Structure 1
Amino acid sequence: MKKIKLLVIMLTAFGSIAVIIAWKEKQTAAPAKRPNILFVIADDQSYPYASIYGAKGVQTPAFDAVAKSGILFNNAFAAAPQCSPSRAAILTGKNIWQLEEAGTHSSYFPKKFQVFTNLLENAGYRIGYTGKPWGPGNWKDAGWERNPVGPEFNSKKLQPPTKGISNIDYFENFVDFYNQRKGDKPFFFWFGANEPHRVYEEGSARKAGKNIQEAFVPGFLPNDAVVQSDIEDYALEIEWFDTQLGKMIDFLKQKGELENTMIVVTSDNGMPFPSAKANLMEYGSHVPLAVSWPSKIKGGATSDDLVSLIDLAPTFLDIAGVKDAPAMTGKNLHDILFNKSFNKTNYRTCVLTGRERHTHARPDDVGYPSRAIRTDSFLLIWNIKPDRWPAGDPPPDNEEKPDPANKDIKAIGVGYNDIDDPSPTKLFMLENRNRWPDLFDDGFAKREEIQLFNIRNDAACLNNLANDKSYTAIKDALKDKLQQLLTEQHDPRMLGYGDIFESYPRFGLMRNFPGFKERGKYNPAYQNKKN
């Protein structure tokens, strides 16, 4: 009996010692290696223009591979349908009405706003970018020592396959960045393609052997050969972007880095066609999104959750272990990425988007302020100044010529300047407006203050339900929710000084419209203060 008791005592002691040793090993073990982050952002690529989404006429094997090894998002939205406001929102995790000058296109990026790239760098990440960072706009005179995205890696060049594609060798610049990394510091790299932004080499897709009849033509555009060819030229540039991504993925795999690299692939806004880019309709802000991290994220997943690109900043900071991050409007995607069970009502029931001035497209350099709320079924758009032309003013009868006294002032051209030029589709619709009058009006004409679309059966946003009495309750509820959230987020448009957005400088091209047209200057007529 005494021997049995002694044996029990000895086993208990050894067990205690083992627990202590295991505890000490846990305390002294090296912390888990933080992931690299490769952020990949196209310039003007709408959902669903990726082959994994089922769009014909475009092949994106690299994007598809990221989606298959991780998560494909079906309902991802840019905060704005324009380049620089959308990119500012991504960097700060805030909506555009919270960003002052950075909430409008081609203006300043105030230094007061913290960006996740700097926070990652402060936490020990090596950061850099190739291609297009935040822009267009003026960051230097706003007090930044470098672009808010980080250090530039654009020295490597190549001979592009078409005149419209950038000569920046994105892949070799990524290799250059990687080779300059010291030790095993994790990295964040921003690959910002200039594609598929216009200008395209007209007919380049046909020359490359693409069948233009396979083009996916959304319902708001005429299904004509001119439009098909234009869309396939656009698709060709998406495919070039995808090829560069594929090279980066292969490189990471060769270096043994792929398993511990989070890859995020998306776009800053929608396609540069009428009724898309610079519009709050579906094809202006609905963008592709795929996320992979082979060692952590289970592959083959699809998410229908409503997500905003402002959710990326808090997500990046979370996976990098950054503590005491600033308050952000975006929501951490952790539970979706890692398949955690959660109540979806605690994540998102809606996404907000907005726009202010895009180009110099109206007299006095004013914009077309709009806000929108998107649920899983409906899109409601609030056009705050419905008396203005949404795509920019048409040209006057005797078109304004360039100002000979000011080389910065250009001609108005064909008008409707918030639709990118040169555009074969835009010109075709202008010349054939009588053949497709409804489609022309959707893209060019003035709009009602409230628009309501049932996205489940009208993704092209052709049928405005705002005046249909059977949808009155839905319209009122969505408008109330939108304005409630805008007020909570201190949108100047809700607080009585919204015209402050009209005062912000524009550093891009100015046209010879009547009224204020001074490049890089504040418009004093709209510099009203907070109430």
Structure 2
Amino acid sequence: MKTRHRCIFTIIVIFACVGICVAFKEKNKSVKRAPDKRPNILFVISDDQSYPYASIYGTTGVKTPAFDEVARSGVLFNNAFVAAPQCSPSRAAILTGRNIWQLEEAGTHSSYFPKKFQVFTNVLENSGYWIGYTGKPWAPGNWKNAGWTRNPVGPEFDDKTLQPPTKDIANLDYFENFVDFYNQKKDHEPFFFWYGGYEPHRTYAEGSGKNAGKNIMKSFVPKFLPSDTVVKSDIADYDLEIEWFDQQLGKMINFLRQKGELENTIIVVTSDNGMPFPSAKANLMEYGTHVPLAISWPAKVKAGRICNDLISLIDLAPTFLQVAGTDTMHGITGKSLTSLLLNNNNNRPHRTYVLTGRERHTHARPDDLGYPSRAIRTKDFLYIMNIKPDLWPAGNPPPDNAMSADGTIKSKENKSIGIGYKDIDDPSPTKKFMIKYKDEFPALFEEGFEKRPADQLFDIKRDPWCTKNLADKPEYVVIKNALKDQLKKLLTQQGDPRMLGYGDIFDSYPRFGLMRNWPGFKEKGEYNPAYEPKGMQEIK
């Protein structure tokens, strides 16, 4: 009898619970679950900063407490790479999530940015984000005549200025411009802000690092540069500008903390390409494309992680769109980092390779030609394919008899060409020193200034400075050929004109930067008809 009563009681309780649940559901059927708050995004990009020039990487001579804070609050990346070792193509690749050979004019330096390519900033804005930038956006190049009503990055916030510590540091008050941007957004409106520092791009105030109290003997000199006091002082000046850039980031982080926004803000800190020194910027070797990267998102991303996976900065566009809950973009090549950041990738590597490439950098050769090359980087090796090895990778030397032994110009008519090798930024004490004393370190000079073979292969673990080309070593032939075949296959799949028979189209694209007194075509802002493929007319 007791058992029977217990069963009846249980049945009554079950029905009562069901009734309560149904009633609750009916009462709240019109109430939807509130969506998670969309994250803010602070994207921070320096100008010409190579890995490992941040103090958390253990590099001496430079202190970056703000970068280090972001890294410790989230994920520090050891193997992040840009798509190109130059400013504007690298930034175009970041904005579109595509590689440079997929971007037509935007794949070369200081040309047009075709309006037909989607950028993640516009997608974010159209989905309800308040967007803006301070400092260097997509640049250099011409967006106005390509159909844009504003820079592809978004609206500009550059009204606030200050007195910088040296004459060569930009006078923009990056932090106050960020505050100005923030104060104009609506309450509870998510934001995307692009802080593009002009530092540490040349020029530098020579000796500014030493004058600021830096011990130049602590400057980290990579092995592809001479370990001389001239070079160490030059790097100290470079380090000083990195620190200035980092100080502005630190102010932004503290501001977000005070506003209660830090927890739900994704902060990404990186650079657009490598350091402006020989064998680095404008080269596909390691110090031209390997950049610092740290990402934090306290609300979602576990702190204190170190990631050794290969990362391409074209992966940022799909990442931003995914975390913002927006639509993706057509033709995107990058791969979202979201699973990696949220630690949901089951320890699978994010990538097994990254691809990089370069075309024209400056007007550094007769007829305004570039130096086409492509590369594939795995965790162990870097293979570079130099498509036109008859050209000078750093730009042509000055004309015969135009330069004296100390690197100065004898001929007035060649003054606009300067000391030559113009794909290496001027003015540069390191560059001038290496030209003047090239006979004292011929191997380093050859690597940074002379012509290169069609194939280059570097063992990154043993030679992260890319000073020993293994491409012709018999024991590395199999590795070289496998990487070369893989690179060509991937480039072909992605529609690279260099693989499809009309690669010279890159040399037809206009340049809007300085044009020099080299022989041949030198018309600023004009297409070079000699290199336009027949039947393929670009927007003019």
TM-score by length of 2: 0.95
Aligned: 1:64 with 2:68 = yes
CA shift, 1:327, in A, is 3.2
Alignment of 1:156-235 (within 5 A): 156-235=160-239
- Which residue among 458, 473, 476 is the counterpart of 1:468? 473
CA shift, 1:398, in A, is 4.6
Query: 1:379 aligns to what?
Result: 382
Alignment of 1:236-315 (within 5 A): 236-315=240-319
Aligned: 1:337 with 2:347 = no
Aligned: 1:362 with 2:382 = no
Aligned residue type for 1:62: A
Counterparts of 2:19 and 2:217 in 1: how far apart (Å)? 74
Counterparts of 2:277 and 2:344 in 1: how far apart (Å)? 39
Counterparts of 2:21 and 2:102 in 1: how far apart (Å)? 52
Aligned-residue RMSD, C-alpha: 1.7
- Which residue among 150, 171, 174 is the counterpart of 1:146? 150
Aligned: 1:394 with 2:397 = yes
Q: Secondary structure at the match of 2:374?
A: strand
CA shift, 1:222, in A, is 0.3
Counterparts of 1:439 and 1:447 in 2: how far apart (Å)? 13
Report if aligned partners of 2:321, 2:328 keep a CA contact under 8 Å in 1: no
Counterparts of 2:313 and 2:377 in 1: how far apart (Å)? 14
CA shift, 1:71, in A, is 0.2
Report if aligned partners of 2:458, 2:468 keep a CA contact under 8 Å in 1: yes
- Provide Cα deviations, 1:274-308, integer angstroms capped at 9, x if missing partner: 00000000000000000000010000001000010
- Provide Cα deviations, 1:197-221, integer angstroms capped at 9, x if missing partner: 0000000011110100000000000
Sort the Cα spacing of 1:26 and 1:342 in 2 relative to 1 into closer, same or farther, 3 A. farther
Q: Secondary structure at the match of 1:371?
A: strand
Query: 1:32 aligns to what?
Result: 36
Report if aligned partners of 1:308, 1:351 keep a CA contact under 8 Å in 2: yes
Query: 1:499 aligns to what?
Result: 504
Structure 1: give runs of 5+ residues left out of the alignment: 404-408
Counterparts of 1:274 and 1:268 in 2: how far apart (Å)? 17
* Deviates most, 393-402 or 88-97: 393-402
Report if aligned partners of 1:382, 1:450 keep a CA contact under 8 Å in 2: yes
CA shift, 1:485, in A, is 0.3
Q: Secondary structure at the match of 1:344?
A: coil
Sort the Cα spacing of 1:379 and 1:174 in 2 relative to 1 into closer, same or farther, 3 A. same
Report if aligned partners of 1:455, 1:461 keep a CA contact under 8 Å in 2: yes
Counterparts of 1:126 and 1:460 in 2: how far apart (Å)? 41
Sort the Cα spacing of 1:206 and 1:31 in 2 relative to 1 into closer, same or farther, 3 A. same
Report if aligned partners of 2:133, 2:153 keep a CA contact under 8 Å in 1: yes
Counterparts of 1:27 and 1:264 in 2: how far apart (Å)? 36
Counterparts of 1:69 and 1:17 in 2: how far apart (Å)? 48
- Provide Cα deviations, 1:162-204, integer angstroms capped at 9, x if missing partner: 1111000000000000000012110000000000000000000
Report if aligned partners of 1:170, 1:191 keep a CA contact under 8 Å in 2: yes
Residues paired across the two proteins, number:
525
Sort the Cα spacing of 1:349 and 1:17 in 2 relative to 1 into closer, same or farther, 3 A. farther
Sort the Cα spacing of 1:19 and 1:458 in 2 relative to 1 into closer, same or farther, 3 A. farther
Counterparts of 1:18 and 1:501 in 2: how far apart (Å)? 70
CA shift, 1:27, in A, is 5.4
Q: Secondary structure at the match of 1:319?
A: helix
Report if aligned partners of 1:391, 1:444 keep a CA contact under 8 Å in 2: yes
Query: 1:406 aligns to what?
Result: none
Counterparts of 1:323 and 1:112 in 2: how far apart (Å)? 17
- Provide Cα deviations, 1:138-173, integer angstroms capped at 9, x if missing partner: 000000000000000000000000111100000000
Query: 1:483 aligns to what?
Result: 488
Report if aligned partners of 2:224, 2:466 keep a CA contact under 8 Å in 1: yes
Counterparts of 1:360 and 1:14 in 2: how far apart (Å)? 82
Aligned: 1:46 with 2:53 = no
Q: Secondary structure at the match of 1:33?
A: coil
CA shift, 1:120, in A, is 0.3
Query: 1:517 aligns to what?
Result: 522
Counterparts of 1:330 and 1:336 in 2: how far apart (Å)? 14
Query: 2:406 aligns to what?
Result: none
Aligned residue type for 2:165: P
CA shift, 1:87, in A, is 0.1
Aligned residue type for 2:322: D
Report if aligned partners of 1:215, 1:232 keep a CA contact under 8 Å in 2: yes
Report if aligned partners of 1:71, 1:290 keep a CA contact under 8 Å in 2: yes
- Which residue among 338, 349, 353 is the counterpart of 2:352? 349
- Which residue among 464, 470, 473 is the counterpart of 1:459? 464
Counterparts of 1:275 and 1:252 in 2: how far apart (Å)? 38
Counterparts of 2:21 and 2:157 in 1: how far apart (Å)? 50
Structure 2: give runs of 5+ residues left out of the alignment: 403-408
